[in-house]
Amino acid sequence: MTEHTPGSDPGPDPGPLQEPPAGSSPIVEFLTLGLGMAVCLAIGTGIGLAVDAAAHTTPLFTLLGLGLGLAAGVVYLVSKVKQNL
């Protein structure tokens, strides 16, 4: 176990925080996050529905597409939050 001493290197400097674009409000930022999440879910579910229609395997690929869309939405959400913190 390594202890942090005052003279040791804590690691790379994360750099300055990014400022949001001029004129954007927090409401717009939150709406963008929600819209991005909805788009990810819709695309994943749509692809799953299309594959189910082609393969005649209702609801297998729809649920799989929904899960992948949810995962993509969470990745998008986390990346945008990290970018703006």
pLDDT tens digit string along 46-74? 999 999 999 998 899 999 999 999 999 99
Q: How far is CA 28 from the centre of its chain?
A: 17
Residue of 81, 59, 63 whose CA lies nearest to 71 = 63
Give the least confident one: 7-21, 38-52, 61-75.
7-21
Q: Give, in degrees to the nearest 5, the angle at Cα 49 between 47 and 54.
A: 95
Record the pTM: 0.67
pLDDT at 36 exceeding the cut of 90: yes
Output the CA torsion 46→49→55→57 (10° steps). 150
